[in-house]
Structure 1
Amino acid sequence: MADRERDLADCVGAIYEAAMGNGGWLGVGDRLCRLFDARTAVFRVDGEGSGLHNLLRPTTASEALYAAYFHRVDPFRAQARRDFSTGRARHVGTAKLGPEIVPEDQYLRSEFYTDFARRNGMRHMMSGMVGVRVASPLSLYRDSGAEAFDGSDLRRLETLLPHLQRALELQRRLGLQAEAASVSRTAVDALPVGLLLVDAGLGVRFANAAAAAHLGRPGAPASLAHAGPRLDGGTYLSPRHRDDAVRLRQLVASATSGGVGGSLRLRADEPDGDRPPVAVMTVSPAPATLAAEAGAGTEPFALIVVHDVARGVAPPVGMLCDVFGLSQAEAEVAVALAGGVSAEEVARQRAVALGTVRSQVRAILDKSGAANLRDLERSLATLGALVPQGPG
């Protein structure tokens, strides 16, 4: 009895480990067969794009044959699907002997038994109903030379079924979370601004595509360096300019210790010649949920937003037409003004009267809701930051 109880506990543990991805379902199948003196254990699910698959046994010729044809004529499977669809709450978590599900004479005369089950040692059956979206009965079989399952076997199986049901629900939630995390990562990677999640030592736990692209360019004012001060030899954020590194560490220390962080402009290291791209970094405390979704653990982290100020900040003309309802000419004037050109220079470039440009400026301010040209520039810079950055 003590061995049975220990085997039962081991089986429960293996079920949860398999659901969380820390162990294999094949190990669960071996434990079930040992616990119930069964010839085989069956727990078939519909895999994504891979058809019907028994999680508890290795893929064999007989399993392939079942998936290809015999699942259609399996009377136990058909009855389980009917029970699940008409009375899920009543059937889930209950176990039955084979004859309680399909009469003995009907089973022995069936095509399923004659051409498949008899050849695979599936004479006596016991099954318990579980499932999240569809019926997924757990079935155990003994061959014709063994005794049929009895009431003590049923009670033991019904002890396992609630654990298997919760494990299935847990596995589904984990799968949905993984899918949501994948969608979130794709969305974050599509942002035109760089996002980094760093610890107090500037160790990088996450960087989206824009951050990796900007900081990976030759001559960037900061880089994602490998090895360095982190004990695990991972990646850390390294400003090129020493003063910037000191200031960034101060801001990150503030953000990870209850402060608010702050902003800094990363400078070029070389005083002469072609200056490398310049970036602005905004540092703030990272929300705990964001750190958890990134798999960064529970310690405090800082969220760094990286914006390449070397990029033109003016949005496309078409965007201004769509957002503010500007005419093509008004949008072109707005873009020119955002680039720092005076109204006089715009008039000269467009070969129009200065009064025309001033009239267009008044229309632009009115339609955009900007109080003045400086306010307009801030609005245009915000819109410009939303424009995806092209390659290179």
Structure 2
Amino acid sequence: MERAAIDNATTNVAEDLLAFVGDIYQASYQPEHWNVVISELCRRLGAKSGGIHVEDYHQNTRYMMACYGLPKVTELSYRLGVAKYDPVYQIQSQRPIGKASMVSRHDEARLTHPLYYRLIVKPNDLGYVAAISFFNDEHWHVGIGVHRSFNAQPFGEAELQLLDQLAPHFQRALLIQRQLHLQESKAQTLEYALSKVMLGTVIVDQDNTIRYRNDLADRLLDCHPALVQTQQGFKAYYPDDDERLREMLQRLRKAPDGEGWPRDQAVGLRHPDRSHPLTVIGVPCHETPHSRFGPAEPGLVALYLSDPSASFNASAEQLIQTFGLTRREAGIAIALTNGLDLKEISAQKGVSLATVRTQLKSIFHKLGVNKQQDVIRILLASGIGNAPH
């Protein structure tokens, strides 16, 4: 009995977090929903306030995309230039992408950055700041900062680990939002935008018949056993997962105008041979343009599929042909994209660290970049290696 209670509690926690992930993806299509996401994130982290900050390198601007718990005057002042006095931007830019950390303490900021302390920290009671960067390339620097009061305790490892865990979902949602913004500016179709999103994308109709799949969705459905294609459309491996998936679709279709969407728009589909569930995020398609998956009609739902256990699995030959890398350079680029640092690559390849650095410089030259994160960005954005194992 006690074991069952523990299992139920664990399941409830996992489903609650998965529901929050659904909120994150909803914000990619409803930018105003980012404020809801930030407020919920602050609640989970025990933060008094927080915000998504953006540095747009093309427009040379800094602003808050969304915030919670901060006075409106603070958001406005950031847009008017006060952000240039905030050292958190520079501190974050020096931290690894997707890795949360404490970046400011009021007692230290008072001594090291007195102007920042006087203009921002003290007036807004930002005693402790934890932050994480999602992107930092030639286009933009995007991250989240969350704050606690002078009288509170600093953020602990549990809070920082939660930010790390959520980072891939924020990154994907922000990429979706950016792609859709480009779509609007270039008058592209929804189908084209979806083909550029590095998530498996499936459009299903009122009868749960698949009307459209992008290439990555095809590969996921072919390779991940938690969700299989049938003559009726699809079916989850476990009956209770299948029931939860279809209940989610029914709930999404009850909000034809997008109002009052349920928070639990996500489900995790399990399989005994996989250590991580296949993540399925559902979003109603309220205004779907004509495309090869049909004209706008009631009941269409977009399902976004993601396999957390999938790695970048391009072959060396693909990178050799595409980017002109040598076989050894391709191996280093693949290892780097899968999260290994230079020391780990050195040990894995059985070569010296100096040799790895020399080969990395050659990779930089051939890709026209000068940062490791740019190598990762280019390889992931290329679409090569997106197929799951």
Shorter-chain TM-score category?
A: 0.3 to 0.5
Which of the pair has the greater relative contact order for Cα pairs under 8 Å at 6+ separation? 2
Q: TM-score, normalization: structure 2?
A: 0.41
Larger Rg, first or second structure (1 or 2): 1
